[in-house]
């Protein structure tokens, strides 16, 4: 796990928008969109685990990238409403271990599971949330 090199920078997390509370999916997804607007300002060593598709995993099986990657991200050019729709419409089914993922994201469980590669839908410290 990579941690921010700047100790004064708050450690933040975001999570799959429907893991926190399915009933508040729209509001949480809107918050995710605001967070995405802040992506370019992240430290280069911050690890981002973006929305992923079945063929996009790295060789280690993780869906992560350093924030210093400068390739264009189409989602960052979408209007907020369009992005919310895009995220919610294409939300994949819950993984079998979604309750474990939620517990880690909400600080109710150890990040050890993430480090052991049992949970790869979380976004770790230094992530995108406001």
3-state secondary structure labels for all residues of 22-79: HHHHHHHHHHHHHHHHCHHHCCCCCEECCCCCCCCCCCCCCCCEECCCCCCCHHHHCC
What span, in angstroms and rounded, lies between the C-alpha atoms of 57 and 62?
A: 5
Contact 124/114 with Cβ under 8 angstroms?
yes
User: What is the model's pTM?
Assistant: 0.40
Higher-confidence residue of 102 and 21: namely: 102
Least confident of 40-44, 69-73, 117-121: 117-121
pLDDT in tens, 27-70: 777 777 777 777 666 666 666 665 554 455 556 655 565 555 55
Residue whose pair of structure tokens reads 């060593």 in the numeric block: 45
DSSP 121: S
Rounded CA gap, 57 and 44, in Å? 20
In this predicted structure, what is the pLDDT of residue 4? 39
**Distance from C-alpha of 33 to C-alpha of 93, rounded to nearest angstrom:** 20
């Amino acid at each position: 796990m990579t941690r921010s090199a700047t100790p004064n920078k708050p450690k933040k997390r975001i999570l799959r928008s429907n893991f926190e509370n399915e009933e508040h999916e729209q509001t949480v997804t809107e918050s995710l969109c605001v967070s995405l607007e802040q992506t370019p300002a992240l430290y280069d060593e911050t690890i981002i685990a973006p929305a992923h598709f079945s063929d996009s995993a790295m060789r280690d099986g993780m869906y992560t990238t350093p924030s210093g990657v400068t390739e264009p991200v189409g989602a960052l050019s979408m209007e907020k409403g369009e992005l919310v729709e895009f995220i919610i419409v294409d939300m994949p089914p819950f993984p079998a271990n979604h309750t474990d993922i939620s517990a880690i994201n909400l600080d109710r469980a150890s990040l050890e599971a993430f480090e052991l590669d049992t949970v790869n839908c979380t976004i770790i410290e230094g992530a995108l949330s406001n």
